[in-house]
Structure 1
């Protein structure tokens, strides 16, 4: 049976997931956050950047924001995973980035070092419990994740993904500010100073998604963030551009395997 639990931490930029997946499979998607997954049992198979990968018990998989990927169990018995979902600015602060345009990156997609796995597993377990002092909750993430960055992280200059005379990041900011609006293709193509046909072709080449599919995922990702921050599903549905709660709930459950009300109940 598929089960998923979501936990908030003392820092709203850092959230936790603990899941047991058997039948549920993630279709191609992206996240707004870094996802650092610890496979605690079983084996997951996923595809990203044109290659297939397997990650098993005791291994860590690091998926950066906006990276297109899927995921499903490689075994009939399923797999169990603990995930840190971390907003990019939190890791940028951890890396103490000084210059505009810099970003933190990890040098490996899959990490197999047992000591690092154990440290992150213990951190995840500690942060999901209520028996820590407030100062411990505040300090532990920096202590535990600093080791991961020191050994496997680096800083690089971020090259913007160009879409006409704009970038994908600029387009994302525009859409996030207008998720509750009926966005039209000519609005997006005009923003990038491209024809609608050029915009669709360039967008698919850069992201692997059609503009509509990419926006649909963006709405759901933002919906997840709002639910985790305490908003109710009825509020979130309209804020992220769904006609009603029923359409939002259906799309949300197909994407994440749980209903919006379940996320609200975890807070």
Structure 2
């Protein structure tokens, strides 16, 4: 039976997921945050950048933001995973990057390192301890992720994906500012100085999704962020472009496997 628990911590740049997936499968999607998954039981398989990958018990999956991938269990018995959802800017700041054009990356997608795995597993558990002082909550992530940075971290240039005379990043900024609006294809194509047909063709070629599917995921990702920040479900639904909470809840559960009311 699938069981997923999303948890928030005082540091809003960090989200925690503790899940047992058996039948639930993630369709092709992306995250706004950096996801670090610790496979604690079973085996997960996924597609990323045109290749098949898998990670088993004791291994970690480091998935960068805005990268298309899917995910499901490789075994009928399912798999268990503990996930850190980390704001990319916060993660780069934590790794002490000197230039704003730099971002933190990692030189491996799947890591097999028992020492780092155990350190991050303990960190995941510690951050759910409500008895910890605020100072401990603030310092533990730095201590927990330092070994990961030292062994596998890599400084990278922030990538720019062109789309007409704009970039995908600029397009995302525009949509984030207009999630509650009925965005039209003509608006997006004009922003990039492309015809609607050109825009759709170029977008699908670069991103791997249709503009509509990409916007739908963006709304879900922002909805998750708002729920974690304590915004009420009805208000979240309106802020991300849904007419009512019922439609938002149905779409949200289809994407994440849980209802908005289960995000705490």
CA distance in 2, matches of 1:178, 1:92: 27
SS at match of 2:32: coil
Q: How much does 1:95 deviate?
A: 2.1
Which consecutive segments of 4 or more residues in structure 1 shift more than 6 A?
none
Moved more, 37-46 or 131-140: 131-140
TM-score between the two structures when normalised by the length of structure 2 = 0.98
TM-score between the two structures when normalised by the length of structure 1 = 0.97
Residue 186 of structure 1 corresponds to 186
* Correspondences of 1:9-24 after superposition (within 5 Å): 9-24=9-24
Instruction: Please tell me whether residue 56 in structure 1 is matched to residue 49 in structure 2.
Output: no
CA distance in 2, matches of 1:72, 1:97: 34
CA distance in 2, matches of 1:121, 1:102: 28
Residue 35 of structure 2 corresponds to 35
CA distance in 2, matches of 1:35, 1:99: 23
CA distance in 1, matches of 2:189, 2:156: 30
SS at match of 1:155: strand
Residue 81 of structure 1 corresponds to 81
Q: Is the 8 A contact 2:6 2:262 kept in 1?
A: no
Instruction: Please tell me whether residue 217 in structure 1 is matched to residue 217 in structure 2.
Output: yes
Give ranges in structure 2 of 5+ residues lacking alignment: none
SS at match of 2:182: coil
Q: How much does 1:156 deviate?
A: 1.5
| Count of residue pairs the alignment pairs up | 264
Give ranges in structure 1 of 5+ residues lacking alignment: none
CA distance in 1, matches of 2:258, 2:77: 20
CA distance in 2, matches of 1:159, 1:228: 28
CA distance in 2, matches of 1:131, 1:22: 32
Q: How much does 1:9 deviate?
A: 1.6
* Correspondences of 1:1-267 after superposition (within 5 Å): 1-263=1-263, 266=264
